[in-house]
Amino acid sequence: MLAEQIAGKGRISELEDFSGKIDWQRIKVVIFDVDGTLYSQSILRKKMLFCLLKHYSQRPWKWKDLLILHHFRAERERKAGTTIPNLEGAQYEWCAAKGDFSLPRIKAVVDYWMFRYPNKYLLDCLYPGVQAFMDTLRQRGLLIGIYSDYKAEDKLRAMGLSADIVVCSTDKEVDHLKPHPQGLVFITQKLGVLPEECLFIGDRQELDGECALNAHMPFVLVEKNPFKQFDFYYKLQQELAHH
């Protein structure tokens, strides 16, 4: 049953049993989600909470910026799987509809606090073993893809990582949020591979796992051990080394 689940025909519930089940001989591309998959979101959120509280405690007249950040993220979560033209612009309009916020202000606040400011902390939050696993993938001739609901190029640079293809849900070629499979389908088309020749790695079963399932693509769920005991990527690296 587990072998069928990892083959993309079902759902994975227990990561610790994946060893030996991935058909590495068939895999040509490994695709990574970003937030919570390549780095610890819990550590980053603690750092960001401190920064936000410090910043806005000294600028109480700007406290509505916090509402903007809340509504922007919450509306994206609520509209998971949405199919809509110009998703890039729509995400800001969703937030604007939740309060008296102008689009320029929303874009400025979101860009600064979500897409630029946190990047300085990402390297410290990078999960152990990520770089070594990616290096092994390249040594074995496998391609590396990135698929995130949020833009990821700057995040990857901040973590010292690179990929053969980087795709975001708001890209005009995708225009769908997870768990709609369009992002994964687009990657397979661009790289000229079949879905079953790819492995998608993500941290959320309800989004990443369902996205892979909808794309008929093998999937592995990140094991969330405490940061100092995090060995998920070392285990994957060892698994690949034995094939």
Whole-number pLDDT of residue 84: 74
CA distance 56 to 60: 5
Q: Domain 2-40+125-241 adopts which CATH fold?
A: Rossmann fold (3.40.50)
DSSP state for residue 151 in the 8-state scheme: -
Whole-number pLDDT of residue 2: 28
Q: How far apart are the first and last CA of the chain?
A: 22
**Residue 139's pLDDT band (boundaries 50, 70, 90)?**
very high
Could you tell me which residues are beta bridge partners of residue 143? 29
**Residue 86's pLDDT band (boundaries 50, 70, 90)?**
confident
If one compares 10 and 129, the residue with the highest pLDDT of the two is 129
Supply 187's token pair: 């990657």
Supply 200's token pair: 């998608």
How large is the angle between the packed helices 103-110 and 87-96, nearest 10 degrees? 110
pTM of structure: 0.86
DSSP state for residue 28 in the 8-state scheme: -
CA distance 200 to 30: 6
CA distance 16 to 9: 18
| Contact yes or no for 141/27 (Cβ under 8 A) | no
| Contact yes or no for 21/4 (Cβ under 8 A) | no
Phi, psi of 233 (to 5 degrees): -75, -30
CA distance 87 to 91: 6
Domain spans, the chain:
2-40+125-241, 42-121
pLDDT surpasses 90 at 33? yes
pLDDT surpasses 80 at 8? no
pLDDT surpasses 50 at 13? no
CA distance 92 to 232: 35
pLDDT tens sequence across 93-118: 999 988 888 999 999 999 999 999 99
Phi, psi of 199 (to 5 degrees): -125, 125
CA distance 78 to 131: 33
Question: How much is the average pLDDT of 52-79?
Answer: 91
